[in-house]
Copies of this chain bind each other. A is one copy, B any other.
Amino acid sequence: MTDNRKAAVFGGGVIGGGWIARFLLMGWDVSVFDPDPEAPRKIDAVLENAKRSLPGLYDHRLPNQGVLTIAASVEDAVQDAEWIAECVPERLDFKQGVYAQIQAACQHDAIIASSTSGFKPSELQEGSSRPEQILVAHPFNPVYLVPLVELVGDSDTVNRAKDVLDGLGMFPLHVRKEIDAHIADRFLEAVWREGLWLINDGIATTQEIDDAIRYGFGLRWAQMGLFETYRVAGGEAGMAHFMAQFGPALEWPWTKLMDVPELTDELVQTIADQSDEQSGHHSIRELERIRDDNLVSMMRGLKIQNWGAGELLNKVDKNLSQLSGRDTTGLITSIERVIPVDWTDYNGHMNDSRYGQVFSDAADAVMQLIGADAEYIDAGQSYFTVDTRVQYLNECHAGDAITVVSKVVNGQGKKLELHHQMLNSAGEIVSTAEQLLIHVDLTTRKSSLPSEEVANKLAAIEAAHKLI
């Protein structure tokens, strides 16, 4: 027994497992009821994924992990539980049967939250003695990372559910009127139907459809959604202009899904008003820049993972890098770049840690130049930085062009000592760094001598740099 809050989860599949992981990692105890003997293994797999990803979202440590128990009975599972997540198969009669068992044993103020994709609360509540206790709390896979939860049901229960979900770091969205498939899945279903048509008619493959999404509007939707994106696209004339431009397309065969609403003046006005309320506190100009900063930051995030739009950025960067042919008898121009928008801090200038990143990249550039490149590292050798000293002389801002000039001060034996100067576009020194790197065997993780080829290149550069 602990003092932690307690949740019960019915069904340990992908969705149930996601709920379990979110609650546990946020410090709740969780008891699971699932007769499937494979359930513990499946839950472990989801929990392992969650533990390697969720804590890294935050810059502070999470509460101590809660205790997971596999309950032997419904009664054991729901005892002391504040939140009871129902994640059983999508069959209405089956779900109703589960609620009857749960309600016979659970606290009267516990929240019974169904993960259903499609059923309405009124359907779930049929025949229940305490219907207001049962609501829809529809999450999205992977539940331990994606924030959205659609809440549908009694407004008092919804409000209490919001508090719980806020505490879990999720985004509860109150769906005010019940409707089949709530809100998000209606869009997913529309897109799914159109996607099936495109494949059925031989227009596009699954790969082509996914690429059309993830290199295009998917990036926009991850940060602004549909209507705010269109508000910005409408430009200075705004939402009404956009609707006038694309309204007629409703009559055209731009999708196979032709059951369209009539675009009355009243509907146009409603949308324009709602859009004003949603986004009117920002000018279009501001929204454009917010959108652009978001896109740059997200794509640079994907760049680190070398995936999708980020993989594309890496390809371009490889072309932009011109190091291979560079003359090394003079000092090395190791970095020529612009400060991106995701590198500034609350002071409005480049965060001091990013100076370190630039110098780290400068060391990488020198390593490439001496042949200690990706291939060399794949073959099991590399240089590790052991000591860095950075002096900050001037500020830099997003959009500033900077250059780093690097000098090999010592390239003997296992050591690589570098001095760097960072210059702005006016030629002023904004920062200097001294780095000590040690050559390492990646198998033993111990220091070692570089290959003869690397050692020779390094010696030649060191000799040339001594004359400068």
Contact = CB atoms under 8 A, between A and B. Distances in A.
A206 B307 contact: no
A231 to B, nearest CB: 8
Interface stretch (A122-130, A270-278, A451-459): A270-278
A252 B313 contact: no
Interface string A348-365: 000111111101110000
A180 B252 contact: yes
Contacts of A59: 317, 337, 361
A148 interface: yes
A156 interface: no
Given A305-B290, A398-B56, A399-B52, A270 B199 contact: yes
Interface string A243-273: 0011001101111111111010001001100
Interface string A379-423: 000101111111111010011010000000000000000000000
A444 to B, nearest CB: 13
A210 interface: yes
5 nearest A-B pairs in the assembled complex, by CB-CB distance: A210-B225, A56-B340, A356-B356, A257-B257, A218-B221
A279 to B, nearest CB: 8
A142 B147 CA distance: 26
A260 B201 CA distance: 12
Interface in A168-193: 169, 171, 173, 175-177, 179-181, 183-193
A209 interface: yes
A322 to B, nearest CB: 8
A387 B384 contact: no
A209 B227 contact: yes
Given A146-B216, A337-B60, A254 B313 contact: no
Contact of A222 (B185, B188, B308): B308
Interface stretch (A79-87, A94-102, A105-113, A292-300): A292-300
Nearest to A26: B316
13 contacts: A58-B337, A140-B216, A147-B215, A180-B254, A181-B252, A190-B191, A191-B226, A197-B261, A211-B225, A347-B442, A352-B388, A384-B392, A389-B390
B275 A206 contact: yes
A384 B346 CA distance: 11
Given A255-B186, A258-B259, A171 B215 contact: yes
B292 A53 contact: yes
Given A261-B193, A377-B346, A389-B389, A199 B271 contact: yes
Nearest to A219: B222
Given A206-B274, A209-B183, A118 B60 contact: no
Interface in A204-237: 204-228, 232-233, 235
A164 interface: no
A214 B222 contact: yes
A337 B58 CA distance: 8
Interface residues of A, number: 172
Contacts of A254: 118, 180-181, 185-186, 189
A339 B56 contact: yes
Interface string A291-326: 111111111111011011100110011001110000
Contact of A267 (B173, B199, B288, B360): B199
B302 A148 contact: no
A199 B374 contact: no
A145 interface: yes
A117 B245 CA distance: 11
A391 B389 CA distance: 9
A151 to B, nearest CB: 12
Contacts of A16: none
A1 interface: no
Nearest to A264: B200
A34 interface: no
Q: Which of A59, A195, A214 has the most CB of B within 10 A?
A: A59
B199 A183 contact: no
A294 B55 CA distance: 15
A76 interface: no
Contacts of A288: 49, 142
Contacts of A321: 60
